[in-house]
Amino acid sequence: MPRPCKKKAHAHRKRIPRGLTHKIGEACLFEVEDFPKGILTTCCSLRGKIAARELEALGETDLSNAMYSDMTCEEAAIFSARLRATADLLEFRNKDIAKKPRGAGWDGTLNAEKNGWDWTAYSTFEEALASIRQAARWYEAVGRLGFGVHAWS
């Protein structure tokens, strides 16, 4: 979720409630993007677990883990570029492969015998890239607005 950046240059952002990039009653700049949101988050938030799980499924563990870290506005902008570059690289590496890697598993059931999940559905490679690029747009927008990121899992 967005959090105020503590830099003095962003002091104009007073009286904005926690997790928002705007005052209550003002239009949300993120509404048009329709970013996925978690159950207890705000209209300005991103459910980053979706992109994080897609990154992990595609072997990008470091980036996946980074999505669970707080960031300043500058770090969010840099992270956005890293996400975008990774999606482009994954797409390039797999452009000539007939059977693309699958994304994250969804719609799982807990298997107590193996102490893990049995996934019944997976996102496609294209869906995984779309989720990563969507997260990149969110991080870029948050950073551009002068907000950092508070990650909670």
- Which of 39, 38, 47, 46 has its CA nearest to residue 21? 46
pLDDT band at 52, cuts 50/70/90? very high
| Cβ burial 28-43 (10 Å sphere, 16+ → b, else e) | eebeeeebbeeeebbe
Strands 147-149 vs 105-111: parallel, antiparallel or unpaired: unpaired
pLDDT on residue 112 = 82
Any idea where the domains of the chain sit in the sequence? 2-149
Mean pLDDT value across residues 56-84: 95
pLDDT single digits (tens) 79-128: 999 999 999 999 999 999 999 999 988 877 777 887 877 777 888 999 99
Residue 3 above 70 pLDDT? yes
3-state class of 149 per DSSP? strand
Query: How confident is residue 63, by pLDDT bands cut at 50, 70 and 90?
Result: very high
Distance CA 113, CA 12 (A): 55
pLDDT in the model for residue 153: 61
As beta bridge partners, residue 106 has 121
Between 124 and 10, the higher pLDDT residue: 124
12-49: pLDDT as tens digits: 566 788 888 888 888 888 887 778 777 777 888 888 88
Report residue 126 as tokens: 């294209």
Angstrom CA distances, 34 to 30, 78, 103, 121, stand at: 7, 22, 21, 23
pLDDT at 13: 61
Tokens of 109: 């059931």
Identify the pLDDT of residue 10: 62
Please report which confidence band the pLDDT of residue 11 belongs to, taking 50, 70 and 90 as the band edges.
low
